[in-house]
């Protein structure tokens, strides 16, 4: 760290003094005039009445000017503070809460005109039941392309399947009807396998559908659905408050990056290698499909288990339909 010379310090103090005098010119003028007149009066100098009156008016003018300048500064400070508060309120309003039927309505509006859908969640039940088929139907109706990216737990990873099932069971006592209490490691596997089958089935029926499936080794606690217009964040309990972030808000862009990074750390399936599935897939077709994708079913899975996967893939129950 270099030290300043006495000359540099003196020059800096002079600059600071001049800057202070310029900022407070009104006060400097008023004090200067008052001091001059006061000293002259003490020294018994004789002034013309016009000079004294003019001096008093000059001092008063300087004081008025200072008062007006200070008022302008305060107004500027208030305006700056108000703008900051407005920005803060706007940032807070970037997130809209959704409850009950509002969640389904928000999804409907998001699907209406989007050409992109990004999903990250546990096993994709609502995705299979509503989002995927409805987005495909809308793309067919409008004769346009559709890009979908799906990030779910890896059914081949026992640890993450067990962790996700445990998380769902932990909060199942808050649910009515007991349906959510049935979550087990095996059910988690089936649900994830079903999403893979559903993605492959729909891809084979819409040439303009570009769909990727990523398998994560991290059990999520939230679901993310991102379209061209908004991001919807939901939980496993349909009765809990959900969140909606409109496109164009900083938080929306943050999550675009976050979801991308999450997929980069997951295993990506190449659905171009998928074997054909009929309109009503058979057990053998599904087994061949998953083998070809490098995601074979456990040896313990019976034909009945594969039948469950097919039902979950094409006839999933809408969790928000109560």
Q: For residues 124 and 151, what is the distance between their CA atoms, to the nearest angstrom?
A: 9
Residue 175 is predicted with a pLDDT of: 47
Query: In whole angstroms, what separates CA 203 from the centre of its chain?
Result: 28
pLDDT reading at 276 higher than 60: yes
Contact 277, 162 (CB under 8 A): no
Look at residues 228, 202, 227 and name the one whose alpha carbon lies nearest to residue 213. 202
Residue 178 is predicted with a pLDDT of: 45
pLDDT reading at 213 higher than 90: yes
Residue 192 is predicted with a pLDDT of: 98
* Cα atoms in the 13 Å half-sphere on the side-chain side of 230: 22
Residues in CB range of 36: below 8 A, 6 or more apart: 55
Q: Which residues pair with 210 in a beta bridge?
A: 147
Residue 159 is predicted with a pLDDT of: 97
Residues in CB range of 255: below 8 A, 6 or more apart: 224, 226, 231, 245
Residue 79 is predicted with a pLDDT of: 67
Q: What is the pLDDT of residues 133-183, one digit of tens each?
A: 999 999 999 999 999 999 999 999 999 999 999 999 887 655 444 444 489
Q: For residues 227 and 118, what is the distance between their CA atoms, to the nearest angstrom?
A: 7
Residue 5 is predicted with a pLDDT of: 65
Residue 155 is predicted with a pLDDT of: 98
Q: For residues 75 and 93, what is the distance between their CA atoms, to the nearest angstrom?
A: 27
- 318 pLDDT band (50/70/90 cuts)? confident
Q: What is the pLDDT of residues 102-113, one digit of tens each?
A: 999 999 999 998
Residue 165 is predicted with a pLDDT of: 96
* Between 159 and 12, residue with greater pLDDT: 159
* Between 92 and 273, residue with greater pLDDT: 273
* Domains parsed from the chain with CATH numbers: 6-92 (no CATH), 96-314 (3.30.870.10)
- 59 pLDDT band (50/70/90 cuts)? low
* Between 198 and 5, residue with greater pLDDT: 198
As a whole number, mean pLDDT of residues 253-267 equals 96
- Full-model pTM: 0.71
As a whole number, mean pLDDT of residues 67-87 equals 63
Residue 176 is predicted with a pLDDT of: 44
H helices of the chain, where?
6-23, 25-42, 49-92, 101-112, 125-126, 132-142, 158-170, 185-203, 250-264, 283-292, 303-314
Residue 179 is predicted with a pLDDT of: 45
Look at residues 220, 240, 231, 255 and name the one whose alpha carbon lies nearest to residue 124. 220
**How does the average pLDDT of the chain come out, rounded?**
83
């Amino acid at each position: 760290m270099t030290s300043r010379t006495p000359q540099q310090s003196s020059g800096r103090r002079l600059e600071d003094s001049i800057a202070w005098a310029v900022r407070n010119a009104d006060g400097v003028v008023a004090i200067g005039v008052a001091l001059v007149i006061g000293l002259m009066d003490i020294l018994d100098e004789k002034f013309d009445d016009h000079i004294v009156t003019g001096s008093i008016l000059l001092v008063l003018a300087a004081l008025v000017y200072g008062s007006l300048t200070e008022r302008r500064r305060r107004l500027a400070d208030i305006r700056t503070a108000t703008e900051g508060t407005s920005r803060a309120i706007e940032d807070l309003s970037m997130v809209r809460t959704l409850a009950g039927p509002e969640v389904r309505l928000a999804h409907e509006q998001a699907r209406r005109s989007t050409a992109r859908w990004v999903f990250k969640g546990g096993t994709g039940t609502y995705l299979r039941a509503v989002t995927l088929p409805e987005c495909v139907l809308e793309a067919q109706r409008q004769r346009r392309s559709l890009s979908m990216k799906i990030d779910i737990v890896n059914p081949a990873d026992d640890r993450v399947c067990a962790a996700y099932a445990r998380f769902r069971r932990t909060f199942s006592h808050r649910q009515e009807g007991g349906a959510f209490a049935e979550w087990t490691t095996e059910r988690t596997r089936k649900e994830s396998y079903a999403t893979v089958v559903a993605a492959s089935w729909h891809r084979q029926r819409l040439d303009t559908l570009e769909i990727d499936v990523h398998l994560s080794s991290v059990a999520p606690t939230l679901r993310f659905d991102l379209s061209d217009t908004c991001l919807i964040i939901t939980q496993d309990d349909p009765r809990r408050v959900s969140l909606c972030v409109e496109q164009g808000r900083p938080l929306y862009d943050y999550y675009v990056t976050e979801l991308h990074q999450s997929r980069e750390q997951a295993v990506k399936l190449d659905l171009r290698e998928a074997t054909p599935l009929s309109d009503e897939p058979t057990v053998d077709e599904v087994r061949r499909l998953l083998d070809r994708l490098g995601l074979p079913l456990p040896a313990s899975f019976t034909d009945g288990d594969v039948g469950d996967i097919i039902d979950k893939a094409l006839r999933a129950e809408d969790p928000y339909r109560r």
